[in-house]
Structure 1
Amino acid sequence: MQHGKRGPAFWILGAFFCLFVLFLYGPTLTILILSFQGPSGGLTFPMNGVSLHWFKNLFEKQMVGDFAGSFQRSMALGAATMVVTVIASFSAGLAFRFSRFRGSGIIFYLAIASLIVPSILISLGIGLLFRVLGWDPAWYSSAFGAHLTWTLPFGLLIMFAVFNRFDRRYEEAARDLGATSWQTIRHVVVPILLPSLIGVGLFGFTLSYDEFARSLYTAGTFNTLPLEIYGMTTNVTTPVLYALGTVTTMISLVVIALALGAAAWLGRRNRRRLGG
């Protein structure tokens, strides 16, 4: 009897998976390669030299575009969205777990309803609302609210799933030892759920950082980074645009790596504590 023999189906599925991965990451890899063009390089292959010229040019004053400003706005907006998403999702998880108050089902479905509404309609609606009220849309107000309609539903769904698996005996043990409700949450619940809270925060930051549709009509005068990149595609004709894409992609990967590393470290620490 032969063991481990791979039939035609394995190779067909393997080839399909390779094509799928190439479809996902091929464009990003192309931008990464073209960002290292020489000073006289263009936007297409073949490459004309290899250098870091366009990365240096990225940090110089540009004739069009505001790289530094849009990047700072996206980082600040992503950080604010992350903090509010984590706090609101954790609080909602506690509220829905301890008591099924009247109207809780309606509130839950209203909270996640924005996931099925096209993002461009939400952006347009919030932008129009601000103008009707006489307020100027801005990245720190209307865009912030629009991004929360995207990140909060994901945070809620994650925290509800996490709380459903949470062992309440840890809380009961803390109360038996004389801990108050606040002390139980602070010293027992939060440390155990901290890896999950980091995951919710990562979700909130990354979804906000690269959100385009919900920023289109809500960012106001000053663009966020996705809007700036989109606007520059018709003006910038050098690989500096690819260099910007490479830098922002690397920043996103660094943030994800740090969050995953922190979650893994906290998970091991909690397991050691519980095991001890």
Structure 2
Amino acid sequence: MRRGVTAIIVFAALLLVGVWVSVRVPPYAVGPGVVPDAAHVWSARILLVLTLAWIVIGIISARTSLVGRPGASAARASWIAASRPWRARESTLGMLQLDRVLLLVIPGGMLAVTRVLQSSAGSIAQLVVTFGGWVVFVVVAELWMRGRSPWALIAAVAGVVVLRCTLTLLPLSFGFPYGEAVTRIYMALSTAGFLWTFVAAAWSLFPRFGPRRGIGIVMAAAGAGLTVTCAVIALIGPAQVLEGWIDHVSPLPWGLGRMIGIANLLGSVTTAVWSLALSGLVVGLVGVVLALPERTRTAL
């Protein structure tokens, strides 16, 4: 009960951060979105139904014998780990190999298709960057496991990814432009969901590593992912990658693509991306210090 209340308070704080971010966007950048074509709309609707089905199966499996069916255990683990990350480890115990594969493939596939629907047809760069960043995050976190099972962390991240895909697919499924209010609400919820990914990931590690090391491992992994991602974006070209997220999605500001193009000519976007890469490096180094065992930290 206490941890549930703590989780609600933490998410409320993250939501306030999201509200602050959405409010900071200037009014002229929050106009009506680009109207998706029929193929995008129906694809989003079909994927939304499948995503909701995965979530419902996870919720039902947590309380019924459905958990014994193929795939249900993976759905259950992703739901529990995303909503109650302190139970992530116990939710993954006894999973069959098929469930472990599905725990990777289903959320990963949802993320890939959602990003394709969220961007223009020719924008593959942002999809590669998105997956590359998460791969770096998982690989670096795995290095800290030292032979321990990584499935609690994977379940937490996968579960939040599914919920975030649902949030993105909802407005895409309606297929009409949105006003300023809806756009700002979407941005606030999206920001809170993104930040909750790392909170859930760290929380899932607390039972085995403790709060300090759990937070440190996630900070090290997130810092590495941010550094590599920003470095790749800077080398590819910020405008090309960032417009991939903006060009075809209704809930995002319609004027942001033009703003990025202008800012990129002035070099400010590239500078900001390299600054984020440096920030990621700092966060990663702090995470490494926190993630070290007490004996190693004392020796240093």
Q: Do both proteins adopt the same fold according to a TM-score greater than 0.5, normalized to the shorter chain?
A: no
TM-score, L = length of structure 1: 0.38
Larger-gyration structure (1/2): 1
- When you count helix as a share of all residues, which structure comes out higher? 2
TM-score, L = length of structure 2: 0.35
